[in-house]
Copies of this chain bind each other. A is one copy, B any other.
Amino acid sequence: MTTTDVRRSDMRLASEAWESLFRAQVAVMRRFSRDALWAQLSMREYDVLFTLSRCGPRPMRLNELNEHILLSQPSLSRMVERLEATGLVRREPSADDRRGTVISLTPEGAEVQRRIGRQHVRTIGRYVGTALDDDELRTLGRLCDKLRHAQQDIPD
C-alpha cells in the first residue's frame, strides 16, 4: 500500500462519515421542522436566541455570533434587525471598537428562548434520545465536539 493509497482510504472514510453526519442532520431537522412550535419563531431565529443565551449575560459581537450561525453576514445582520424590531434582542454600538455592534437578549427574548427551548428539548429527546442509548449519545457528542473544535485549528 502506497502513501497515496493510505490518503485515499482516509478520504473515503472521512467522506462516508461526513455524508452520514450530514444526512442524519437533514433527517432530524426535517422531523423537527414538522413541530408546530416554529409557528412563533423560525428555527434559524431560535438558533440566534439560543446562541445568545449560551453566551451568558455578556453581549455578543455580530461577527462572533455569525461564526455559530449558518448564514451570511448580511443575512444575519438583517435577521438581528428584525429580531430587534420584535423586541427580542437589543443592538448597540460596541464601546471598545466602534465599528462593531454588540447584540444581547432582552428579558423578553430570554423568556421566549427558554419557553421554546423547553419544548424543543422534549422534541429532541423524542427523536434523538430514543434513537441511541446513553453511551452512544455521549460518544456522538464527544466526536462531534472534537470535529467542531478541530475546524478552528486547521489552516485554510
Q: Hey, which bits of chain A sit against chain B, CB under 8 A?
A: 7, 10-18, 20-31, 34, 67-70, 121-122, 124-132, 134, 136-148, 150-152, 154, 156
A14-B128 contact given A20-B145, A146-B136, CB 8 Å threshold: yes
Residues of B within 8 A of A151 (CB): 27-28, 30-31, 127, 131
Q: How far is the CA of A20 from the CA of B140 in the complex (A)?
A: 8
Is there contact, CB below 8 Å, between B150 and A131?
A: yes
A134 neighbours in B (Cβ, 8 Å): 10, 13
- In the complex, what's the smallest C-beta–C-beta distance from A152 to chain B, in angstroms? 8
State the oligomeric state as a number of copies.
2
- Is there an interface contact between B124 and A14, defined as CB atoms closer than 8 Å? yes
Of B11, B26, B69, B125, which one neighbours A26 at CB under 8 angstroms? B69
In the assembled complex, the CB of A80 is this many whole angstroms from the nearest CB of chain B, namely 17
CB contacts (< 8 Å) of A144 on chain B: these are 17, 20-21, 23-24, 140
